[in-house]
């Protein structure tokens, strides 16, 4: 699994609404690890969608504004492709992307959705039976209004991915306004068969409850809330988000569970991350992490 969680990919973890924290243990046999991952699937909330408990986030793929030292080249492309293939080889088949990852809107080189779609196509040529679960996200930009904006954005995402539907579609963050229309759009996407399940991301407890109730009226479960959650960032335990997810049966998906590489041991006070991450995970911050561990 370590190969899959390379510089080109970020891991995320699905909690499965368990109240206890599961420990991830390293095992010597890759074959054994892969078989266990395939068996260890979790259902997202009240939906029928089951995915591997570990997933791969494609935030860095094609990005040149936060990751990759502001450049994207053939070497990074090959590293991303190798990360994808290694992940699938290990049994990790849940991939999370977003329409803004690598997009021109954020001065990216190539859209992450486009890359993921290519990687899936290439893999299917070699292994037609492979099943990959794709999650992507809608950007709640201020000029986007109404449920139709969600459907239009989803269809554009599907075009980039080269898919007719995705397993999970999420609102990437709450909008400044128009949030009720966005939730309506999620429900429409389910009813039109464009997605198997819907979720939100970066939602507070109150927004989570509101989205859950609005979808519930249509008989559609809110499958997930994807939030920043790791051993060194435990805010969801403190702000009521995790408790609300447990209460409502909404799966909490933890993004950056290895803190953008910090918890892998790759970075030290003497060797901090480069680029914008270095402004967050400074030598002083990393010293505290080392001290706590």
Cβ pair 130, 124 in contact under 8 A:
yes
Q: Are strands 222-228 and 10-14 parallel, antiparallel or unpaired?
A: unpaired
Determine the distance from the C-alpha atom of residue 251 to the mean position of all C-alpha atoms in its chain, rounded to a whole number.
Answer: 13
What secondary structure letter does DSSP report for 38? H
Cβ pair 248, 209 in contact under 8 A:
yes
Q: Catalytic annotation on 101?
A: yes
Q: How many helices (H) and strands (E) does the chain have?
A: 10, 10
- If we measure between CA atoms, which residue out of 282, 261, 257, 271 comes closest to residue 23? 257
Distance CA 203, CA 11 (A): 20
- If we measure between CA atoms, which residue out of 65, 47, 64 comes closest to residue 195? 47
Residue 28's SS3 state is coil
Catalytic position from the list 101, 182, 255, 281 = 101
* Residues taking part in catalysis: 101
């Amino acid at each position: 699994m370590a190969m899959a969680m390379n510089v080109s990919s970020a891991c995320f973890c699905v909690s499965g609404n368990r109240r206890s924290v599961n420990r991830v243990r390293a095992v010597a046999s890759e074959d054994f690890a892969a078989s266990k991952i395939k068996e260890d699937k979790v259902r997202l909330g009240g939906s029928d969608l089951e995915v591997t408990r570990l997933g791969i986030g494609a935030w860095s793929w094609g990005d040149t504004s936060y990751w990759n030292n502001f450049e994207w080249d053939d070497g990074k492309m090959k590293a991303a492709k190798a990360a994808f293939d290694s992940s699938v080889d290990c049994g990790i088949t849940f991939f999370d992307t977003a329409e803004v990852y690598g997009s021109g809107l954020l001065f990216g080189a190539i859209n992450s959705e486009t890359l993921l779609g290519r990687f899936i196509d290439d893999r299917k040529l070699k292994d037609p039976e492979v099943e990959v679960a794709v999650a992507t996200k809608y950007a709640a930009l201020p000029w986007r209004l109404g449920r139709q904006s969600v459907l239009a954005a989803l269809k554009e995402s599907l075009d980039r991915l080269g898919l007719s539907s995705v397993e999970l579609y999420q609102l990437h963050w709450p909008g400044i306004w128009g949030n009720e229309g966005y939730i309506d759009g999620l429900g429409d996407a389910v009813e039109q068969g464009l997605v198997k399940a819907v979720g939100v991301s970066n939602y507070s407890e109150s927004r989570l409850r509101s989205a859950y109730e609005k979808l519930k009226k249509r008989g559609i479960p809110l499958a997930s809330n994807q939030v920043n959650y790791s051993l060194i960032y435990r805010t969801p335990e403190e702000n009521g988000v995790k408790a609300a997810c447990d209460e409502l049966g909404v799966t909490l998906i933890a993004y950056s569970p290895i803190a953008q590489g910090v918890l892998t041991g790759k970075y030290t006070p003497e060797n901090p991350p480069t680029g914008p991450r270095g402004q967050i995970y400074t030598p002083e911050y990393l010293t505290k992490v080392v001290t706590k561990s």
